[in-house]
Structure 1
Amino acid sequence: MYDITGNKVLMEVAVEDAESLSYHRFCEQYIERNRPVRIINITQGWSCSSSWKDVTGSLNYEYLLEMYGEELVPIVEGQTESHETHSRTLVNFREYLQQVESQAVGLKYLKDWHFFQCCQKRGFKPEYTTPIFFQDDWLNWWSDQKEALHQRSDDYRFLYFGPAGSWTPMHHDVLCSYSWSVNICGRKRWLLFAPEDVM
């Protein structure tokens, strides 16, 4: 098998259906073996699966502006090979969305927005639930305990948002942990490397 650039792909990522994949089999086949998996039908029942898209399947700017337009969100500028060299600024989500809609945003990428915390602080119910496969969440457990004690704490539940062509440099997930990602609208291309190929 070859990718779109003509490079040979050594391993295909398994595809599972959330409706038939058990938690036990997920752990046994993927977590214990340190193997990636793409899980389809995982967003069933999430309101963001419908509210964030219009009838054509494109981004529902009107809804997002109404619900989250006044939030400050972190934006990284342009394409660079390293996270450390990104210029990061906080901007109003409304301003960023309007730039995306008018295609005047360039490659600015909304990165690491603490969306779950944003919803909690505003008294909103988050528009998604953590799938059963990822509910055993050690990183966010600590953050949630500190929040319960009214101590400031950042979580690791991030929302990313970008125009066509935006990207993130090669990296490992926070604290070298396992991570999960869901694409609500548009397409995202992933390049995954086996640990032994990057150590």
Structure 2
Amino acid sequence: GEAVVPVANCDVKEYNSNPKEQLPFKEFVEYWREYIGNGHRSSRGCLYLKDWHLSRSGLIPKILGSGIAFPEQDVYTTPVYFSSDWLNEYWDAVAVDDFRFVYMGPKG
């Protein structure tokens, strides 16, 4: 819950995109619960967690209760139809970046 995650406001447009802010993950989850409880409305707009690099955030050992280096941890299983990962085959080899993102948020 202490992870800081990128959150986009889907109700606001800036240069054909949505502005982002950094929020603690637990605050985003609280917002999401309130948003649903209020009939999918909020004075903050429709917020969506977007482009979170979970695998490189350093949080996986905390989540899994392990001290093992986080990039090797499996926190989910990729569906077979998406298992061929051409972009990350290269980026994993050069160890510069990755294209593994987490997206989540309420409907709307």
Higher Rg? 1
TM-score by length of 2: 0.66
Q: What is the rounded CA distance, in whole Å, between the counterparts of 1:91 and 1:157 in structure 2?
A: 19
Alignment partner of 2:57: what SS?
Answer: helix
Aligned counterpart for 1:156 among listed residues 99, 105, 108: 99
Post-superposition Cα deviations, 1:61-106, rounded to whole Å, max 9, x if no partner, equal xxxxxxxx11111111133567744211111101111111122453
The TM-score normalised by the length of structure 1 is 0.39
Divergent runs of 4+, >6 A: none
More strand by proportion, 1 or 2? 2
RMSD over aligned Cα, in angstroms? 2.7
- Identity value in percent: 34
The alignment status of 1:138 with 2:72, answered yes or no, reads no
1:138: how far off? Answer: 1.4
Q: 1:129 to 1:85 in 2, by over 3 A?
A: closer
Residue identity matched to 2:7: I
After TM superposition, list the pairs within 5 Å mapping 1:101-116 onto structure 2. Answer: 101-103=33-35, 104=42, 106-116=45-55
Q: Give the 3-state SS of the residue equivalent to 2:7 in structure 1.
A: strand
> Cα deviations across residues 147-185 of structure 1 (Å, max 9, x unaligned)?
3xxxx42x11111111121xxxxxxxxxxxxxxxxxxxx
Match of 2:65 in 1: none
1:8-87 → structure 2 map (5 Å cutoff): 69-80=1-12, 84-87=16-19
Offset of residue 135 of structure 1: 2.8
Helix, strand or coil: the match of 1:140?
A: helix
Q: Give the counterpart of 1:127 among 64, 75, 81.
A: 75
Q: Which amino acid aligns with 1:137?
A: D
How far did residue 140 of structure 1 move? 0.7
1:134–1:120 distance in 2 versus 1, CA, 3 Å: farther
CA contact (8 A) 2:13 2:19 kept: no
Consecutive unaligned residues in structure 1, runs of 5 or more: 1-68, 166-199
- Which residue type is aligned with residue 163 of structure 1? P
